[in-house]
Amino acid sequence: MSSLPVVVAGAGPTGLMCALALGRQGIPVILLESEPALTHDLRAGTFHPPTLEMMTPYGITARMHESGLRVRQWQIRDLSGEFVAQFDLGLIADVTPYPYRLHLEQHRLTPIQLDILRRETGADVRFGHQLTGFVQHADRVDVEVMADGKAEVIAAAWLIGADGGRSTVRKILGVEFEGFTWPEQFVVASTQYDYAQHGFAMNSYISDPVNWAAVFKMPHDGPPGIWRVVFPGAPELSDEALLAPEAIEPAMQIILPRSSPYEIRYKSVYRVHQRVAQTFRAGRVLIAGDAAHLNNPMGGLGLNSGIHDAINLADKLGRVWRREADEALLDLYVRQRRSATVEQVQAMSIRNKRLLEERDPKVQRERLTELIATAGDPARARKYLLESSMIAGLARANEVS
């Protein structure tokens, strides 16, 4: 058994989950976060059934339900509302105790994780600590850290990079981040206007070659909640131009026309990438979550797959740390999670986005008609839901040896 700690870089959902899952095994953990406190991320916020199941033993899921919204039905529709395919996750209630999506902002998840981590483990959580480098040895990895202008070296048994899409850990490793960046920018605008009165489910995707969108209801500060709308922005425009009222309001009116202007509570813009690291491991250094893979938000797969990475990795690394298993077990983590990323997360999120932005009106109507038929057939809908909820793909990935 090693006496050295595992160092986790990044206190986002994946890093916190890694630290908690390792700490629960009695493994010493040092969690490094360059920011002075948890970040306030407004993007992610959809949790699928298997993710809720994975977090249940840690007490996270129960606390998420205190303010999260249970979304049993979700839709794919066209801009006119003429074609609406509505899926009911109740059809898979026999395979999961959570036959719904749970909507909860990411910035409400991380405080729950951090609270449980501090109360139930001996993890050493260090905010304001920037990982600046590392040197690998046969029996350890020396992690170089900067805090308050002072340099420090931490001797660790293993290092996990869960430090986001711009991962310092991945860059130092020199691991290729293969993939592409979508040409358009993604604009997010939040309003308290109630889309439900117009037939929208709390999770709705709008198919249109130009004005596609995703509409989600989030709990916000409590009832009545807030509706988050995601739509494309021209790549040549600046953030300031995309977020100007004269740009936001017309886009919102196209998605759902109304007689008065929308009151926008929050707005932001970001670029979206589809990338997967060539490998998730190099020696005693591993990567997970956004550090290992990025995808567009259609389907709510990114945050969930990061949690899946963390649970898979912590189980295997715990056995290796205790010397119950050979280090080769960590290569199984790479095979399983990279397989899930490429075959499920990347493929599904790309397919979802291209479905929404189909430019041929005839093809668009054919696809929506087919989805309506699928939603109306319990057997076909069940199969579709097992895939879209990540249950089927996760089972396939876990069978990888």
pLDDT one-digit tens code per residue, 111-128 = 999 999 999 999 999 999
Quote the pLDDT of residue 342. 86
Residue 269 lies in a domain: no
Answer yes or no: is pLDDT of 41 > 90.
no
What does the pLDDT average to over 309-336? 98
CATH number, residue 341: 3.50.50.60
Checking DSSP bridges between strand 226-233 and strand 6-9, what pairing results, if any?
Answer: unpaired
CA distance 47 to 36: 27
Residue 40 lies in a domain: yes
Answer yes or no: is pLDDT of 290 > 90.
yes
Least confident of 133-142, 210-219, 336-345: 336-345
Above pLDDT 90, what percent of the chain? 85
Quote the pLDDT of residue 244. 97
User: 5 near 317, Cβ under 8 Å?
Assistant: no
Quote the pLDDT of residue 146. 98
Quote the pLDDT of residue 182. 86
pLDDT digits (tens, 9 = 90+) for 55-67: 999 999 999 999 9
Least confident of 39-43, 62-66, 271-275, 389-393: 39-43
CA distance 161 to 170: 7
Higher pLDDT, 353 or 33: 33
Quote the pLDDT of residue 1. 59
Q: What are phi and psi of 85, to 5 degrees?
A: -105, 115
pLDDT digits (tens, 9 = 90+) for 209-240: 999 999 999 999 989 999 999 999 999 999 99
Give the chain's domain count. Answer: 1
- Residue given tokens 């190099």 in the structure block: 282
Closest-CA residue to 280 (of 304, 313, 305): 313
Answer yes or no: is pLDDT of 36 > 80.
yes
Quote the pLDDT of residue 272. 87
Question: Tokens in use for 49?
Answer: 């059934």
State how far the alpha carbon of 230 is from the alpha carbons of 161, 207, 389, in Å.
Answer: 29, 12, 20
pLDDT digits (tens, 9 = 90+) for 350-379: 888 888 888 888 988 899 999 999 999 999
CB proximity list for 127: less than 8 A, separation 6 or greater: 11, 33, 35, 36, 37
How much is the mean pLDDT over the chain?
A: 95
**Domain boundaries, position 111:** 6-68+105-178+274-354
Residue 296 lies in a domain: yes
Residue 287 lies in a domain: yes
CA distance 363 to 210: 15
Secondary structure class of 297 (helix, strand, coil) = coil
Secondary structure class of 356 (helix, strand, coil) = helix
Higher pLDDT, 95 or 349: 95
Residue 250 lies in a domain: no
Answer yes or no: is pLDDT of 2 > 80.
no
User: 215 near 195, Cβ under 8 Å?
Assistant: yes
Asked whether the CA dihedral 309, 312, 314, 317 is positive or negative, the reply is: negative
Answer yes or no: pTM beyond 0.85.
yes
Omega prior to 224 cis, within 30 of 0: yes
Give the side-chain half-sphere CA count within 13 A for 234. 9
pLDDT range class, residue 87, cuts 50, 70, 90: very high
Question: Tokens in use for 380?
Answer: 């076909």
Quote the pLDDT of residue 353. 84
CA distance 366 to 369: 5
Secondary structure class of 115 (helix, strand, coil) = helix
What does the pLDDT average to over 394-400? 92
pLDDT digits (tens, 9 = 90+) for 294-321: 988 887 788 999 999 999 999 999 999 9
Secondary structure class of 176 (helix, strand, coil) = coil
Residue 160 lies in a domain: yes
Asked whether the CA dihedral 322, 324, 326, 331 is positive or negative, the reply is: negative
Residue 257 lies in a domain: no
What does the pLDDT average to over 272-299? 94
pLDDT digits (tens, 9 = 90+) for 171-196: 999 999 999 888 889 999 999 999 99
- Residue given tokens 């926008």 in the structure block: 264
DSSP class of 80: T
